[in-house]
């Protein structure tokens, strides 16, 4: 059974701090990795995609991929209350497999 | 911008009814997907399609069928709705032919309640 694992949270982060989210996956053949944000009652929206080892930055978000250790992480710098949401990790191995998500709560 | 629309945001049906959920995308995407999302279980793939009139089973196809008569439209059908099909249903699409691992864009979702 191929799996994508995330801590469910909630991850409580003070406003202005860095939120660090982790995701591990079971299939070494995975090619593409995605982070989606989902607000309560809404559908997932893409934040980042990453395909090769290392870091990828986009604004306040940084995705980090380590294929050897089979994990992908997301850092949110200068966290804002509007970042409060559930963050879904998705990994592809022929089709996209989603983790159950990590809930992030940014406290003022 | 990619736009994926779903026919209803909220739907209430009775056990045994036949239910149609419609999804339309306006970006000429090749691939379309249906997921359901339940608390603690994440998104689970029901069916997907790479092309018109083709379909592939996902992880949980039982109790569902799909139809793709036109490239932009992908329908999910619950032949005889049951209470355990109460869920949030999400449609998604992606561009590259035969590459289901491409970025997927989601519709707003349909919250279905089966009484």
Report the distance separating Cα A76 and Cα A63, nearest Å. Answer: 9
Hey, which bits of B1-115 come out as E strands?
A: 4-6, 10-13, 19-25, 31-38, 42-49, 56-57, 64-70, 73-78, 87-94, 105-106, 110-114
| CA of A107 vs chain B CAs: smallest distance (Å) | 23
Burial of B37 (0-12, 13-18, 19+ CB in 10 A): buried
Q: Which of residues 23-42 of A touch B (CB under 8 A)?
A: 31-32, 34, 42
Given CA atoms B78, B81, B82, B88 in this order, what sign does their dihedral have? Answer: positive
Torsion from C-alpha of A99, B108, B88, A87, nearest 10 degrees: 20
Q: Residue A38: pLDDT above 60?
A: yes
Report the distance separating Cα B74 and Cα B92, nearest Å. Answer: 10
Contact B105 A46 (CB under 8 A): yes
Contact B108 A45 (CB under 8 A): no
User: Nearest-CA neighbor of A21 among A59, A53, A47?
Assistant: A47
Of A8, A46, A96, the CB nearest to B100: A96
User: What are A44-87's pLDDT values in tens digits?
Assistant: 999 999 999 999 999 999 999 999 999 999 999 999 999 999 99
The arithmetic mean of pLDDT across residues A20-37, rounded, is: 92
* Residue of chain A nearest B90, judged by CA positions: A43
Query: How many residue pairs bridge chain A and chain B with CB atoms within 8 Å of each other?
Result: 46
Return the structure tokens found at A64: 């980090």
User: Nearest-CA neighbor of A65 among A99, A28, A101, A40?
Assistant: A28
Q: Residue A1: pLDDT above 80?
A: no
DSSP letter at A82 equals: G
A61 has a chain B CB within 8 A of its CB: no
């Amino acid at each position: 059974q191929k799996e994508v694992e995330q801590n469910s949270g909630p991850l409580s982060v003070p406003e202005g701090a860095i939120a660090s989210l982790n995701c591990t996956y079971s299939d070494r053949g995975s090619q593409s990795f995605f982070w989606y944000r989902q607000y309560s009652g809404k559908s997932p929206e893409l934040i980042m995609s990453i395909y090769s080892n290392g870091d990828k930055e986009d604004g306040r978000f940084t995705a980090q991929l380590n294929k050897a250790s089979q994990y992908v992480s997301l850092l949110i710098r200068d966290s804002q209350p509007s970042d409060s949401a559930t963050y879904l990790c998705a990994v592809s191995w022929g089709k996209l497999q989603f983790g159950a998500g990590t809930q992030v709560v940014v406290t003022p | 911008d990619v736009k994926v629309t779903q026919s209803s945001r909220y739907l209430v049906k009775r056990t045994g009814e036949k239910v149609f959920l419609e999804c339309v995308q306006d970006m000429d995407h090749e691939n379309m997907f249906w997921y359901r999302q339940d608390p603690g279980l994440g998104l689970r793939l029901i069916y997907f399609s790479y092309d018109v009139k083709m379909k592939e089973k996902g992880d949980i196809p039982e109790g569902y069928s799909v139809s793709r008569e036109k490239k932009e439209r992908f329908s999910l059908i619950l032949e005889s709705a049951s209470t355990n099909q109460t869920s949030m249903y999400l449609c998604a699409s992606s561009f590259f032919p035969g590459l289901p691992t491409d970025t997927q864009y989601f519709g707003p979702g349909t919250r279905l309640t089966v009484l």
